[in-house]
């Protein structure tokens, strides 16, 4: 059975609707090799984005044969197009089933014992000869929390190196640093439920309709039911999301900082700000010197007003191309609505000023008091199912320790050393290598051994070609844990380890609204594939023994299962702002997600933080507190920061030689580097190949028509794609989807990154176009 793209979309909508009312609609024939109705259903979570849609997997004869949405979860049974076809990813023909070792230009099958022996020998020799900072781990927002916590403990607490980072550095680091620098702690304070209460939505740098379809469905439903609901969409492309907007603000890519400052200018000039909220809850800061270390100064309200004087709507229009009247309208709607909710994603984060852009969205909410009440909140959308839980919360980044602790903070290091039971001074005080620094170190030879798990940097890194050379070098040792082979990373590896995928193992995901959910194991993995946690425990004990610290290894890493790791994680979170002591494994098996903080087993979870009405930690900090208390900002007497952030453009603006801006993103059918979704026949047939999207006016200038072949060239490389001439991008902008391994879009993108978050600027680079 072959479905057209139109038929596929119709089927997706029908399945979502059926799931939402409790009906089981069978998958179309041909999606799975196994046939027949499930004999039981297993509760879990979708494998794709950070929305965290609850699902049930239907199992028959040891195989997953169906999937349906969890109608008791926040998604109310709805799934997106990708989620509807999840089972097929388990049965792709290129599933990796055995360990493989490179011999010359070929891979040969070896046993697990041999694989572990080779890996341990390489890491041991490197540590002995070159020290612990010669080895590194590159992880993922797709790994379970238990896996991320374990490997973090092994490298930072066991081996004594902070060279451990992950792919959320490429997608969510600016959001994390934005939250921390404004509020003192990471993660949104609101929830999806705020969609039901908001009457104004400000969406910037996010194509929700394709990247987070189920959340977008909620927003669209809210608009249909609320006659006064307004949607503002700020995006250089008129995306599917922008089609439902009441106001679409198109602007020159990389100039939205001027627009955000101009909106603040209008709010203050027209006295639409909430003076009482500002006076009670905020302070003002500016960066005097970027450092390192950065020099920060506190300033006054008058200083902020003076700073904004240059950002009139008319001045912002000259910088951005966005009409001044639209900036004024957006500012008024934002400030005067009963409740305004902001959404953003990679369009803000993947920038050299990504942290500043995040701060400036927070500024608007703090200026207007549109925060910490139903419908009024800032909300960063997350790209991966556990980028929040396992990485940002759990500390799987080179500068972090678990649950809000910092590597550079002496008290935090001492606390974690005591908790983990390792000698004082084991955790290094200097943060380790961030993602781009890590792969630069591979190129230079400073990093001798690198373990990559559950991610695909050989395709996903910016300016990827130069880093592929380092990964392929014969004088380094690259281990890749992967469910499929070959990928654009595993093809470069020295050792490839077969990984269990999704419901072939169990573990915990933490998603965008601070919601933690347990994924139950439903089936066994194929061949000799193993859960990453099992491999990590095996490796840790073998390596510690070879280093002459076998007894310490058994004490630190002698876990029997993921629940033992989870229970240690709960203890690690106790007493922090993330406290989820109440999330026992038994409870999570029954619940349909719990939001932290959740400090006791009878606590329902926290829908909204920092307000005495919802957040139990407010009263713990101040028993007399009523209303809003930003306890995360203790260092500033519970006052959060409104930042003075000037407009600065991208690292590589267009010029006479490269007159167009390239931006990248997702399609509704596919996800990230396509290693899973391109295995689903229906999804691949619907969106089989990459393309370059050009508007008709620019296409005419370069003599290109729809479906012509176009050569797109940046300062780093070229790629030839079919043109899709459509009036979606604004003049001077071209767009490419990022998913296709045979179309290495990231050969073109710049590896310039934000100085604060170290997140690369995937969204903007200069290119030229030529008809082939």
Convert 272-284 to b/e letters by CB count within 10 Å (16 or more is b). Answer: ebbeebbeebbbb
> Among 673, 483, 543, 491, which Cα is nearest to 117's?
543
Both tokens assigned to 732: 């001077």
Q: Determine which of 7-21, 379-393, 602-616, 664-678 has the lowest per-residue pLDDT on average.
A: 7-21
Domains of the chain: 5-91 (2.20.25.90), 109-170+386-559 (3.40.50.740), 173-380 (3.40.228.10), 660-749 (2.40.40.20)
Q: Is 172 a catalytic residue?
A: yes
pLDDT in tens, 685-733: 999 999 999 999 999 999 999 999 999 999 999 999 999 999 999 999 9
**Angle, CA of 87, 91 and 96, to the nearest 5°:** 130
Give yes or no for a contact between 314 and 176, defined as CB atoms under 8 angstroms apart: no
Q: What is the pLDDT of residue 446?
A: 97
Both tokens assigned to 312: 């009139």
Of 52, 83, 139, 383, the catalytic one is 383
3 state SS of 35: coil
Q: What element of type H or E holds 401? A: strand 400-401
Of 43, 68, 76, 82, the catalytic one is 82
Both tokens assigned to 416: 């974690």
pLDDT in tens, 508-561: 999 999 999 999 999 999 999 999 999 999 999 999 999 999 999 999 999 999
The answer to whether the Cα torsion of 761, 764, 767, 769 is positive or negative is: positive
Beta strands 400-401 and 405-406 are: antiparallel
Q: Is 346 a catalytic residue?
A: yes
| pLDDT band per the 50, 70, 90 thresholds, residue 350 | very high
Give yes or no for a contact between 213 and 356, defined as CB atoms under 8 angstroms apart: no
Q: Is 438 a catalytic residue?
A: no
pLDDT in tens, 621-634: 999 999 999 999 99
Mean pLDDT of 337-347: 98
Q: Is 383 a catalytic residue?
A: yes
The count of residues in the chain is 772
Q: Is the pLDDT of residue 13 over 60?
A: no
Angle between helices 313-320 and 324-336 (to 10 degrees): 120
Of 49, 80, 116, 172, the catalytic one is 172
Beta strands 200-204 and 295-299 are: unpaired
Looking at every residue in the chain, the average pLDDT score rounds to: 95
Long-range CB pairs of 678-682 (<8 Å, 24+ gap) are 678/739, 678/740, 678/741, 679/88, 679/89, 679/92, 679/94, 679/484, 680/31, 680/82, 680/85, 680/88, 680/89, 681/30, 681/31, 681/88, 682/3, 682/8, 682/28, 682/31, 682/85
Q: What is the pLDDT of residue 437?
A: 98
Q: Is 82 a catalytic residue?
A: yes
Of 171, 218, 233, 536, the catalytic one is 171
Q: How far is CA 310 from CA 287, 304, 315, 327, in A?
A: 18, 11, 7, 15
| 721 vs 770: CA distance, rounded Å | 11
φ and ψ at 79, to 5 degrees? -130, 155
pTM: 0.95
- Report the 10 Å Cβ neighbour count for 217: 20
Of 27, 341, 346, 572, the catalytic one is 346
Of 142, 370, 384, 595, the catalytic one is 384
Mean pLDDT of 738-762: 97
């Amino acid at each position: 059975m072959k479905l057209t793209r139109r038929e596929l979309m119709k089927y997706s909508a029908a399945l979502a609707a059926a799931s939402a009312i409790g009906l089981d609609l069978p998958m179309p024939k041909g999606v799975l090799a196994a046939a027949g109705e499930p004999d039981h259903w297993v509760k879990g979570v979708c494998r794709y984005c950070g929305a965290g849609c609850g699902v049930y997997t239907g199992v028959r004869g040891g195989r997953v044969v169906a999937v349906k949405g969890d109608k008791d979860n926040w998604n109310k049974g709805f799934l997106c197009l990708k989620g509807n076809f999840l089972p097929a990813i388990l049965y792709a023909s290129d599933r990796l089933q055995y360990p493989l070792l490179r011999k010359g230009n070929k891979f040969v099958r070896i046993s697990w014992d041999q694989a572990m022996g080779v890996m341990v020998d390489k890491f041991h020799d490197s540590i002995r000869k070159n020290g612990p900072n010669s080895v590194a781990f590159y992880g993922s927002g797709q790994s379970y929390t238990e896996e991320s916590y374990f490997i973090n403990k092994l490298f930072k607490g066991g081996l004594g190196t902070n060279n451990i980072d992950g792919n959320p550095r490429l997608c969510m680091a600016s959001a994390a640093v934005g939250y921390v620098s404004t509020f003192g702690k990471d993660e949104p304070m609101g929830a999806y439920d705020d969609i039901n209460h908001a009457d104004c939505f400000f969406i910037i740098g996010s194509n929700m309709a394709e990247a987070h379809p189920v959340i977008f469905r909620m927003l669209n439903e809210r608009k249909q039911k609320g006659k006064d609901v307004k949607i503002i969409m700020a995006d250089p492309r008129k995306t599917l999301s922008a089609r439902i907007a009441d106001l679409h603000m198109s602007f020159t890519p990389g100039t939205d900082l001027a627009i955000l400052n101009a909106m603040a200018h209008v709010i203050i000039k027209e006295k639409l700000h909430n003076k009482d909220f500002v006076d009670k809850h905020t302070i003002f800061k500016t960066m005097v010197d970027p450092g390192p270390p950065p020099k920060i100064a506190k300033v006054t309200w008058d200083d902020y007003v003076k700073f904004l004087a240059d950002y009139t709507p008319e001045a912002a229009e000259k910088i951005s191309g966005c009409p001044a009247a639209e900036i004024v309208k957006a500012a008024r709607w934002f400030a005067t609505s009963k409740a305004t909710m902001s959404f953003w994603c990679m369009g803000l984060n993947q920038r050299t000023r990504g942290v500043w852009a995040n701060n400036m969205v927070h500024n608007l909410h703090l200026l207007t008091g549109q925060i910490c009440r139903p419908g009024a909140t800032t909300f960063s959308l997350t790209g991966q199912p556990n980028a929040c839980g396992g990485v940002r919360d759990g500390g799987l980044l080179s500068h972090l320790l678990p649950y809000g602790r910092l590597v550079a903070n002496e008290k935090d290091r001492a606390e974690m050393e005591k908790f983990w039971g390792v000698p004082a001074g084991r955790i290094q005080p200097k943060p380790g290598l961030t993602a781009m620094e890590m792969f630069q170190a591979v190129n230079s030879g400073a990093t001798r051994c690198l373990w990559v798990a559950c991610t695909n940097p050989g395709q996903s890194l910016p300016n990827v070609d130069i880093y592929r050379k380092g990964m392929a070098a014969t004088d380094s040792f690259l281990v890749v844990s992967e469910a499929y082979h070959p990928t654009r990373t595993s093809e470069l590896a020295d050792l490839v380890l077969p990984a269990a995928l999704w419901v072939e193992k169990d573990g915990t995901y933490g998603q965008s609204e601070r919601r933690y959910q347990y994924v139950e194991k439903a089936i066994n993995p194929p061949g000799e594939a193993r859960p990453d946690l099992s491999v990590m425990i095996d490796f840790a004990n073998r390596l510690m023994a070879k280093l002459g610290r076998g007894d310490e290894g058994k004490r630190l890493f002698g876990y029997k299962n993921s629940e033992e790791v989870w229970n240690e994680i709960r203890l690690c979170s106790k007493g922090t702002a993330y406290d989820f002591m109440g999330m026992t494994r038994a409870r999570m098996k029954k619940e349909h997600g719990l939001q932290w903080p959740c400090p006791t087993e009878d606590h329902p979870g926290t829908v909204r933080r920092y307000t005495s009405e919802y957040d139990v930690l407010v009263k713990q900090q101040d028993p007399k507190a009523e209303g809003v208390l930003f306890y995360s900002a203790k260092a500033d007497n519970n006052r959060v920061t409104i930042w003075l952030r000037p407009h600065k453009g991208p690292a590589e603006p267009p010029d006479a030689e490269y007159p167009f801006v390239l931006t990248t993103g997702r399609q509704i059918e596919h996800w990230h580097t396509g290693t899973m979704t391109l295995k689903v026949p229906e999804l691949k047939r619907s969106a089989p190949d990459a393309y370059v999207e050009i508007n008709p006016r620019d296409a005419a200038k370069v003599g290109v028509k729809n479906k012509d072949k176009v050569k797109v060239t940046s300062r780093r490389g070229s790629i030839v794609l079919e043109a899709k001439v459509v009036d979606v991008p604004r003049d001077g902008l071209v767009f490419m989807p990022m998913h296709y391994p045979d179309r290495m879009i990231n050969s073109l993108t710049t590896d310039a990154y934000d100085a604060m978050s170290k997140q690369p600027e995937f969204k903007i680079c200069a290119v030229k176009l030529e008809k082939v």
